[in-house]
Structure 1
Amino acid sequence: MVASLTVCPVTPDIIYSAQVQFNIENYTNRKSLGYATFVRSPKFMVGGYEWTLRYFPDGVTEETEGHVSVALERMTENEPSWTLISLTFAGEADRSAWVGWTTAVQFNTENHFLYHWPEIRSEDLEQRNLIRNDCLVIQCYISVVRSNQLLKAGTLPVVEVPASDMLQNLGMLLEDHVTADVIFKVEQETFPAHRIMMAACSPVFDRQLFGQMREKDMGCIIVHDMQPSVFRALLHFIYTDSLLELSDMEVNDQKELIRHLLIAADRYCMGRLKDICESILCQCLDMESLLATVELADQHQSAKLLKSCAEFLEHSGKNDMVASQWYKMLDSNHPELAGQIRSQLEALQNKK
């Protein structure tokens, strides 16, 4: 008997399979045993159940005399089980000579844990040359489906999986100057980095480091029009997907850094960082810096920040905003932008 075990990945079931061969010696003499008389195979185990094959050389009933019949019996009579079974009669020389039947059966008390395959005339077996040396070879393939009791009972040990530490590991690369393969120079400060990290987070860095516009001197790339503190914050976000800790800075210095970081994010097409900076600036608007924030929003196409500035003006208590010194300065320097602010204010007021 050849056996195998398969665990279903979708359902909590286990499939136990086995192939059994039952050789009927003295085939000719056994034909005269009479109907309802059978020869039983040795018992075998599949799926935790005990099984046996029954061979009827002269039919199961008087009406089926002259026919060969095979039955599969489950000796363990306790619980129902679904089983896929197939029957093959094969000759020693050619085991593919004739394939019988394949079917799915539930063995239970109603069928007395017994299944009979359809009967076949003895003459048909003999004419097909399946009797070799007065021996008939019966092959039976059985697959028993049983529930995984450990899974059903919930008794398997639960392994707690820790939270992902990928960002923490990537953040450690920021301090790993040994494996760094590019250096950025910002004013008088240098920043070692990894080209693959920079390119993965910014299409601009990707073109600069790997594309046709890549720098000739890949050892050191000079970054113009940016403060070292801003580039340091930009690098920190690339490696950790988070902002630098700014609690040790004055509030105005924090806001100024976020403004410049928004400019850098827009410059390097880093949309998530730009959205974070916009969100922070929207929450700390004041009249003192409002004009600079409006200009920033306009220069870097930040519609959300511009809308927040209009909403701030609406709720600031300035009833005659158009006549204010602030608006006159904006209108004088940026007439189109002043028109946008006025339109947004009018739209907000019309919604009331």
Structure 2
Amino acid sequence: MSSDRFPHDTFLRILAEGMTTTKSTETASRSTATVEKGTHVFEIVGYSLEKGFSAGHLVRSGTFTVGGFDWALSFYPDGGDEASGSSPWIILELVSNGAEARAQCGVGLLKQPSGLLGCGWRMRHPRTFNSSDSSRFAPFRLKSEAELKASGFLVGDCLKMKCTLMVVKGSQLSEIKEDSEIEVPPSDITKHFGTLLEDKVGADVTFSVGGETVTAHKIVLAARSPVFKAELYGPMSETRTSCVTIQDMQPAVFRAMLHFVYTDSLPRMDDLKGGDCSEMIRHLLVASCRYALDRLKMICQNILAKNLDAETVVTTLALADQHDCERLKKVCIEFITSPNEMDAVLATQGYASLKRTCPSVLVEVLEKTSRLRRS
């Protein structure tokens, strides 16, 4: 064995073990064949006058160009030669001098008078046409004259045919660039935390709320609320019992607040009617202030601001004033002082209560009204 040749397995071992790869590159390219398509309709009027000649008599179409090459159709009413019989033939021919083309073609007969394609014949694959030899021809044998008449192709002594030609123009080489953008699905962490709350796996704290028991995870609550963090991990946490009692909060409100803590979204409230839903949002606003859940507080304010009416606006205004919701408070005052709503609001029981319980807010309403009157 010569010294410059290795057995196959030795060569592979050298590649795998004896060489250090410093850089690896991968490239790709694509070769795309381009095709030019063209059609030509050939109409023979006075079909019977072309019949009765010897085999080989032809009627020739005009020359048409597809793919940069000249082509023509030849129709043989009595057959192409004695051996082929008397059935008509259509032959496509490459007529460009000294040319070679790769093409796929088909011919069909057109029904009259609709002009729809009734039957056809086609080459299954592209092939090479060379104008210097017999490969320049592509023959197609038609039906007999009786069949042509019966099928509606030969009407009024006229026959129409259509040639469809696809010429392969060559290949275009292009570099394939891999898309560096990898689609990343949206975050589903809140879904997993919601499942954690529902399944109660690893829950390590129990709350007693309105006589009902609710379990949760201390680490999640502490991460989301500084109040929970102080209660569950602060200096006084060791003196607490394993069950934490929540005063002045309904169980449904506490559960809804926990749902937000775990999923950063409000739970579905499809089972609550309009008034009950608004009441739930008000209670959640109070709970958000109690546990310093600032985003929940803003969400509740936004919902209440978009659902004001004459009956509830005063209650919402008092709540906004009590919990320092300045933006919500401003929206409520704007609503009350609007000309279309003021009379209805002043007639409510809530407004009468507001005068007794929140006189400072009433002053703001009156000041706003006075400014509007002067403007």
Q: Which category describes the TM-score, using the shorter chain as reference length?
A: 0.5 to 0.7
Change (3 A) 1:161 1:328: closer
Question: Could you tell me which residue of structure 2 aligns to residue 167 of structure 1?
Answer: 190
**Structure 1 residue 290, shift from structure 2 partner:** 2.0
Change (3 A) 1:170 1:195: same
Distance 1:280 1:160 in 2: 34
Question: Could you tell me which residue of structure 2 aligns to residue 232 of structure 1?
Answer: 255
Structure 2 counterpart of 1:335, from 359, 366, 371: 359
Change (3 A) 1:252 1:181: same
Secondary structure of the residue that 1:171 maps to in structure 2? helix
Structure 2 counterpart of 1:179, from 173, 181, 202: 202
CA deviations on 1:94-119 (whole Å, 9 max, x unpaired) are xxxxxxxxxxxxxxxxxxxxxxxxxx
- Contact kept in structure 2, 1:209 and 1:218, CA below 8 Å: no
CA deviations on 1:161-190 (whole Å, 9 max, x unpaired) are 222111111111102323001011101111
Change (3 A) 1:276 1:349: farther
Change (3 A) 1:323 1:289: closer
**Structure 1 residue 321, shift from structure 2 partner:** 9.1
Write the mapping of 1:1-352 to structure 2, written as runs, cut at 5 A. 4-5=22-23, 153-156=176-179, 159-214=182-237, 216-318=239-341, 327=351, 329-346=353-370
**Structure 1 residue 318, shift from structure 2 partner:** 4.8
- Contact kept in structure 2, 1:321 and 1:327, CA below 8 Å: no
Distance 2:281 2:346 in 1: 31
Distance 1:349 1:203 in 2: 46
CA deviations on 1:117-164 (whole Å, 9 max, x unpaired) are xxxxxxxxxxxxxxxxxxxxxxxxxxxxxxxxxxx9522575432221
Counterpart of 1:277, as a letter, is: C
Distance 2:209 2:282 in 1: 18
**Structure 1 residue 199, shift from structure 2 partner:** 0.7
Percent identity of the aligned residues?
A: 42
- Contact kept in structure 2, 1:208 and 1:214, CA below 8 Å: yes
CA deviations on 1:236-272 (whole Å, 9 max, x unpaired) are 0011111010122111110111100100001111000
- Contact kept in structure 2, 1:230 and 1:260, CA below 8 Å: yes
Counterpart of 2:269, as a letter, is: L
Distance 1:348 1:287 in 2: 19
Distance 2:244 2:201 in 1: 18
Distance 2:248 2:280 in 1: 14
- Unpaired runs of 5+ residues, structure 2, are 1-18, 26-174
**Structure 1 residue 194, shift from structure 2 partner:** 0.4
Distance 2:371 2:242 in 1: 53
- Unpaired runs of 5+ residues, structure 1, are 8-151
> What is the aligned length?
207
Counterpart of 1:340, as a letter, is: E
Mean CA deviation greater in 314-323 or 162-171: 314-323
